[in-house]
């Protein structure tokens, strides 16, 4: 009797969350797609779904500059389709596998200055197996808004499990996935795949793959204080596929 | 130093509502007849002795009033006294041997007063206050204070002076105590008296081997405990632990499924009790005692106060496979040693919950994850520690603490890197500009050309840790931090420290550059990116000491 009551309460609470827009509804949150990000980039043309999926697995390939990758992950953790006033202090879990990325560890005082008010919880884990298990458990529970995972390379099975767990709990999972230059990028069921590289005094943000994704790249800057990733020069990016290529995005999806 | 205060109480005037002037005795029945086990002052004065038969007592005093002993009354009075004495010390041990064997209606308590006497105005004032309190309650009382429990016991009864015994100083006083102060059994005391041994010094001067042979080991043990050479184990009175459930099984549980069902039932019972009292447990200990006496203990700690039985069941179920039932579990003890008050939780659709779910479910998730982690894995909430040294500026807080808004008191500090390399990785300066700033450096076998540099930001060691150091500027732990932009586009956080060298440095200037203090400090300045945040540079001195610069990468900026 008590368990049935708890189930009913949980269902009611989830329904209320969805009604108030605090949690994306089922079906991967398609109704709450993120259409604008990185300053004011219109993401619609690059995704067959019509925007960046707010939940599910997203990967950021890191090769050379782990700090920019970390900043991008932190920025993407705070991306919302619509700013809702009730959504205060979402929990962000940063799972770090030791020695997965070799350029130091996340330094929280840099995040404290950022205006994104997140309830940050960190994990440092020795083995990849434990890290993946913890992420799956946290994603399934639905209690955590975004999980950021630093790990060594993992196989398709693990990625699929993480994706399913994210769909079950409506959680966003951002994986910092190490990638060597010249190596083939392993397949993955991730919704989107990103890469950020230094380019002169700017950085080049690339959308390199995903499900129904049209690749693109932008020249961006990262604000060191607020950790906002924004397009550096809109004029230089004006030739990127805009509204006129909206239809072609559906024709040429790239599966990476 | 350990101070014990022993107070001997005689509860004769409190046992009954009889007027104290009428002599009366408390009697107990045994297989031989009726025995005296408590006397009033009037009965004592009439010549009655403890342990005397009632018939003998009546032959001395025909109109004697006798009352049957009530063991429950003793227990109630003892509890009442412990509650009263609790104001002096939380560590109170009743003298159980005296309560059991004494036939004069006496009782006693030890109070552990180490480090607490000054709170009551000193030792003499404390003793007077305790005596006054117990006299007010209706008990006659004698108190003494000494360094060991045995000495305090003897001091309360046989000390003629201020009843405070400090053993090395008052050695002669202690030697004059009668042997009854050693808390020996009546048989041994009789033997000692027969031998003419009446005082403590007589026992202490005898050869130890002879004493053990003639009288047993008890005398030497009590003597050593008196002088503090052996420890004394007192049964301190502990408050009742209501959060304990003990279940014994006549038919031992041999099946793991049965054991699990039994544990689940007990957990549900405990959680119901906790919910009724508005409490939540932080730690639970499960002991499964096998028929062969082996006890398997499972301990679980939660991040927040928990009163949910399914959650505890789930946590316990992960550890239950480690319990070996063997020939059967005959006893299960479930104990919650750490219980906290839980604020009233209203389970409703309040909007004051976080984005996804609520804090209870989040804490339960962290419990589940935390119990799987290995010894080197960490689950924490990053916090800010008020320290300028980068590696000490953050600390780890338990996840159970409520999330505080991320506040950084030193928000006006220069920017901090998003990734910290700890410990810093040393780099080699390959080339320098004319004013001494690094131009090319080698890090991880990569040659990096520096295109922009700004700084330094000087961080001195904490002055309270280095009170003897005069000049912080040249201290070995003083660091200068620079932001450098390399040719690959990364912003690195470069750290420079100085290290004193007693002798002249080697002439390898290209890889371990060193400079004399007589020169100006190499102020890094390049084309246009110089912004000195701290303009505190070392003063030029006429000193022949040489300092070696050590450069290292301490972090990466976003």
Q: Which residue of B has its CA nearest to A5?
A: B347
DSSP-assigned letters across all residues of B180-242: GGG---HHHHHHHHHTT--BHHHHHHS-HHHHHHHH-HHHHHHHHHHTTSS------------
Whether B516 shows a pLDDT value over 50: the answer reads no
Q: Which residue of A has its CA nearest to B370?
A: A134
Q: Can you state the angle between helices B256-276 and B309-319, rounded to 10 degrees?
A: 150
Q: How far apart are the first and last CA of chain B?
A: 58
* Listed residue (A174, A117, A25) closest to B354, CA to CA: A117
Q: CA angle, corner B527, sides to B525 and B533, nearest 5?
A: 40
User: Which of B136-140, B393-397, B462-466, B551-555 shows the highest mean pLDDT?
Assistant: B551-555
Q: ipTM score here? A: 0.81
* Listed residue (B477, B98, B366) closest to A122, CA to CA: B366
User: Could you tell me the two tokens for B25?
Assistant: 């005795």
Pairing type for strands B164-165 and B140-146 reads: parallel
For residues A114-131, average pLDDT: 87
Q: Among A14-23, B86-95, B437-446, B509-518, where is mean pLDDT lowest?
A: B509-518
pLDDT confidence of residue B386: 80
Please give the Cα distance from A225 to A109 (Å, whole number). Answer: 10
Q: How far apart are the first and last CA of chain A?
A: 48
pLDDT confidence of residue B346: 56
For residues B275-281, average pLDDT: 91
pLDDT confidence of residue B7: 55
Whether B347 shows a pLDDT value over 90: the answer reads no
pLDDT band at A186 (very low <50, low <70, confident <90, very high): confident
User: Which of A45-59, B452-466, B506-520, B532-546 shows the highest mean pLDDT?
Assistant: A45-59
Whether B15 shows a pLDDT value over 50: the answer reads no
Please give the Cα distance from A36 to A44 (Å, whole number). Answer: 8
pLDDT confidence of residue B360: 84
For residues B318-326, average pLDDT: 89
Whether A246 shows a pLDDT value over 50: the answer reads no
Q: Which residue has the higher pLDDT, B539 or B332?
A: B332
Query: Residue ranges of the alpha helices (H) in chain A?
Result: 2-20, 66-77, 108-112, 128-141, 156-169, 246-251
The answer to whether B485 touches B491, Cβ cutoff 8 Å, is yes
Of A12, A106, A134, the CB nearest to B369: A134
Which pTM was predicted?
0.67
Q: Among A24-33, B29-38, B499-508, where is mean pLDDT lowest?
A: B499-508
The answer to whether residue A242 neighbours chain B at the CB level (below 8 Å) is no
pLDDT confidence of residue A123: 94
Burial of B525 (0-12, 13-18, 19+ CB in 10 A): middle
User: Could you tell me the two tokens for B69?
Assistant: 């002993």
Residue B303's CB: how many other CB atoms inside 10 A?
A: 19
Substitution target in A62, A78, A99, A119 with the highest count of B β-carbons within 10 Å is A119
- Residue B526 φ/ψ region, left for φ over 0, alpha for ψ in the -120 to 50 degree band, beta for the rest: beta
- Mean residue pLDDT of chain B comes to 81
For residues B140-160, average pLDDT: 91
Element (H, E) at B4: strand B4-10
Q: Which residue has the higher pLDDT, B523 or A21?
A: A21
Q: CA angle, corner B353, sides to A37 and B394, nearest 5?
A: 70
Q: CA angle, corner A107, sides to A104 and A112, nearest 5?
A: 160
User: Which of B122-136, B227-241, B407-421 shows the highest mean pLDDT?
Assistant: B122-136
pLDDT band at B221 (very low <50, low <70, confident <90, very high): very high
CB contact under 8 A, B405 and A112: no
* Listed residue (B474, B471, B445) closest to B548, CA to CA: B474
* Listed residue (B365, B320, B316) closest to B336, CA to CA: B316
pLDDT confidence of residue B44: 85
**Model pLDDT for residues A65-110, shown as the tens digit of each residue:** 889 999 999 999 988 876 655 556 788 999 999 988 888 899 988 8
**CB contact set of A204 (below 8 Å; sequence gap of 6+):** A196, A197, A198, A217, A218, A219, A220
pLDDT confidence of residue B518: 30
Whether B533 shows a pLDDT value over 50: the answer reads no
pLDDT band at B344 (very low <50, low <70, confident <90, very high): low
Of B355, B380, B419, the CB nearest to A23: B355
pLDDT band at A201 (very low <50, low <70, confident <90, very high): confident
Q: Which residue has the higher pLDDT, A28 or B174?
A: B174
Exposure string of B380-400, with b = 16+ CB inside 10 Å and e = fewer, is bbbbbeeeeebeebbeebebb
pLDDT confidence of residue B507: 39
Query: What's the Cα-to-Cα distance from B328 to each of B267, B289, B335, rounded to whole Å?
Result: 20, 9, 21
Exposure string of B417-430, with b = 16+ CB inside 10 Å and e = fewer, is bbbbbeebeebebe
The answer to whether residue A118 neighbours chain B at the CB level (below 8 Å) is yes
Please give the Cα distance from A109 to A90 (Å, whole number). Answer: 18
Please give the Cα distance from B298 to B334 (Å, whole number). Answer: 10
Whether B532 shows a pLDDT value over 70: the answer reads no
pLDDT confidence of residue A5: 87
Whether B22 shows a pLDDT value over 70: the answer reads yes
pLDDT confidence of residue B147: 92
Beta-strand ranges (E) seen in B398-503 are: 419-432, 438-443, 446-459, 479-486, 491-501
Beta-strand ranges (E) seen in B241-310 are: 244-253, 279-290, 295-306
A-B Cβ pairs (cutoff 8 Å, strict)? 183
**CB contact set of B128 (below 8 Å; sequence gap of 6+):** none
Of B354, B419, B491, the CB nearest to A105: B419
Please give the Cα distance from B284 to B371 (Å, whole number). Answer: 13
pLDDT band at A138 (very low <50, low <70, confident <90, very high): very high
Q: Among A23-27, A243-247, B49-53, B328-332, where is mean pLDDT lowest?
A: A243-247
Please give the Cα distance from B36 to B47 (Å, whole number). Answer: 13
For residues B255-283, average pLDDT: 93
pLDDT band at A19 (very low <50, low <70, confident <90, very high): low
The residues with which B247 forms a beta bridge, in sequence order, are B332
pLDDT confidence of residue B470: 63
Q: Which residue of A has its CA nearest to B415?
A: A225
**CB contact set of B54 (below 8 Å; sequence gap of 6+):** B25, B27, B33, B34, B35, B36, B66
pLDDT confidence of residue B328: 92
Provide, rounded to the nearest whole percent, the portion of chain A with pLDDT above 90.
35
Q: Among A133-147, B125-139, B155-169, B458-472, where is mean pLDDT lowest?
A: B458-472
Sign of the alpha-carbon dihedral angle for A48, A51, A52, A53: negative
Query: Residue ranges of the alpha helices (H) in B346-404?
Result: 359-370
The answer to whether A39 touches A79, Cβ cutoff 8 Å, is no
pLDDT confidence of residue B19: 47
Whether B557 shows a pLDDT value over 80: the answer reads yes
Pairing type for strands A192-199 and A56-62 reads: parallel
CB contact under 8 A, A3 and B310: yes
Residue that the structure tokens 């301990």 belong to: B299
The answer to whether residue A106 neighbours chain B at the CB level (below 8 Å) is yes
Provide, rounded to the nearest whole percent, the portion of chain B with pLDDT above 70.
82
For residues B119-148, average pLDDT: 91
pLDDT band at B472 (very low <50, low <70, confident <90, very high): low
pLDDT confidence of residue B168: 82
Which SS3 state, helix, strand or coil, does residue A130 take?
A: helix
pLDDT confidence of residue B354: 44
Q: Among A51-65, A80-94, B202-216, where is mean pLDDT lowest?
A: A80-94
The answer to whether B366 touches B399, Cβ cutoff 8 Å, is yes
pLDDT confidence of residue B9: 52
Q: Which chain A residues in 3-62 lie under 8 Å from chain B, judged by CB atoms?
A: 3, 9, 12-13, 16-17, 20, 22-23
CB contact under 8 A, A106 and B368: no
State chain A's maximal CA–CA distance in angstroms. Answer: 64
pLDDT confidence of residue B93: 92
**How far, in whole angstroms, is CA B198 from its chain's centroid?**
43
Which SS3 state, helix, strand or coil, does residue A112 take?
A: helix
pLDDT confidence of residue B408: 54
The answer to whether A144 touches A135, Cβ cutoff 8 Å, is no
**CB contact set of B281 (below 8 Å; sequence gap of 6+):** B243, B270, B274, B302, B305, B306, B307, B312, B336, B338, B339, B340
């Amino acid at each position: 009797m008590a368990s049935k009551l708890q189930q009913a309460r949980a269902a009611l609470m989830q329904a209320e969350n969805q009604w108030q827009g605090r949690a994306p509804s089922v079906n991967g949150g398609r109704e709450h797609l993120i259409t604008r990000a990185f300053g004011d980039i219109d993401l619609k043309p690059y995704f067959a779904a019509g925007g960046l999926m707010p939940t599910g697995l997203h990967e950021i390939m890191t090769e050379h500059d782990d700090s920019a990758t970390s900043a991008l992950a932190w920025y993407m953790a705070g991306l919302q389709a619509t700013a809702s006033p009730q959504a205060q202090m979402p929990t962000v879990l940063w799972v770090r596998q030791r020695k997965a990325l070799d350029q130091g560890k996340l330094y929280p005082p840099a995040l404290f200055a950022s205006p994104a008010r997140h309830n940050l919880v960190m994990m440092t884990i020795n083995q990849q197996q434990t890290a993946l298990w913890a992420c799956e458990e946290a994603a399934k529970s639905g209690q955590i808004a975004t999980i950021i995972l630093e790990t060594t390379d993992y196989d398709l099975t693990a990625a699929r499990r993480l994706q399913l767990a994210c769909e079950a709990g409506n959680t966003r999972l951002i994986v910092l996935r190490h990638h060597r230059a010249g190596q083939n990028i392993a397949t993955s069921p991730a919704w989107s795949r990103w890469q950020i590289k230094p380019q002169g005094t700017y950085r080049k943000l690339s959308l390199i793959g995903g499900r129904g994704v049209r690749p693109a790249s932008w020249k961006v800057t990262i604000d060191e204080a607020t950790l906002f990733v924004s397009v550096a020069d809109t004029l230089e990016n004006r030739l990127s596929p805009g509204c006129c290529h909206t239809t072609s995005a559906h024709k040429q999806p790239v599966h990476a | 130093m350990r101070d014990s205060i022993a107070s001997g109480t005689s509860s004769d005037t409190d046992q009954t509502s009889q007027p104290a002037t009428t002599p009366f005795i408390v009697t107990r029945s045994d297989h031989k007849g009726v025995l005296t086990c408590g006397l009033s002052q009037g009965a004592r004065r009439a010549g009655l002795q403890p342990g005397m038969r009632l018939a003998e007592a009546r032959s001395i005093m025909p109109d004697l009033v006798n009352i049957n002993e009530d063991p429950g009354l003793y227990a109630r009075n003892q509890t009442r006294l412990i509650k009263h004495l609790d104001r002096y010390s939380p560590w109170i041990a009743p003298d159980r041997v005296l309560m059991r064997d004494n036939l004069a209606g006496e009782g006693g308590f030890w109070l552990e007063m180490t480090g607490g006497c000054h709170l009551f105005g000193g030792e003499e004032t404390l003793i007077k206050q305790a005596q006054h309190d117990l006299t007010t309650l209706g008990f006659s009382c004698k108190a003494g204070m000494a360094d060991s429990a045995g000495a305090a016991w003897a001091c309360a009864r046989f000390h003629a002076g201020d009843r405070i015994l400090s053993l090395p100083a008052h050695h002669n006083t202690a030697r004059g105590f009668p042997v009854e102060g050693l808390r020996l059994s009546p048989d041994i005391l009789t033997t000692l008296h027969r031998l003419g041994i009446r005082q403590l010094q007589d026992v202490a001067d005898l050869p130890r081997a002879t004493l053990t042979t003639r009288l047993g080991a008890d005398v030497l043990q009590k003597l050593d405990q008196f002088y503090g050479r052996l420890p004394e184990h007192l049964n301190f009175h502990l408050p009742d632990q209501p959060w304990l459930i003990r279940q014994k099984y006549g038919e031992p549980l041999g099946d793991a499924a049965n054991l699990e069902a039994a544990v689940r039932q007990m957990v549900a019972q405990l959680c119901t009790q906790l919910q009724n009292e508005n409490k939540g447990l932080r730690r639970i200990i499960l002991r499964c005692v096998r028929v062969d006496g082996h006890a398997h203990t499972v301990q679980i700690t939660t991040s927040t106060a928990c009163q949910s039985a399914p959650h505890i069941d789930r946590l316990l179920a992960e550890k239950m496979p480690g319990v070996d039932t063997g020939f059967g579990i005959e006893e299960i003890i479930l104990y919650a040693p750490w219980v906290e008050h839980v604020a009233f939780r209203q389970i409703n659709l309040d909007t004051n919950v976080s984005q996804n779910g609520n804090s209870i479910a989040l804490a339960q998730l962290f419990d589940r994850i935390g119990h799987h982690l290995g010894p080197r894995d960490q689950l924490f909430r990053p916090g800010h520690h008020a320290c300028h040294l980068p590696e000490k500026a953050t600390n780890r807080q338990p996840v159970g603490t409520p999330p505080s808004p991320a506040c950084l008191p030193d928000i006006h500090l220069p920017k901090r890197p998003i990734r910290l390399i700890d410990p810093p990785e040393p780099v080699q300066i390959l080339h320098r500009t004319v004013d001494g700033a690094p131009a090319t450096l080698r890090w991880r076998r990569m040659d990096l050309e520096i295109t922009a540099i700004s700084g330094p930001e000087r961080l001195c060691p904490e002055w309270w840790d280095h009170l003897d150091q005069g000049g912080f500027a040249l201290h070995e732990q003083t660091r200068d931090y620079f932001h450098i932009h390399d040719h690959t586009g990364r912003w690195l956080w470069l750290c420079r420290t100085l290290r004193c060298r007693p002798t002249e440095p080697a002439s390898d200037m290209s890889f371990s550059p060193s400079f004399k203090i007589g020169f100006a400090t190499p102020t890094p300045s390049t084309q246009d990116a110089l912004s000195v945040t701290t303009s505190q540079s070392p003063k030029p001195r006429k000193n022949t000491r040489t300092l070696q610069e050590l450069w290292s990468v301490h972090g990466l900026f976003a």
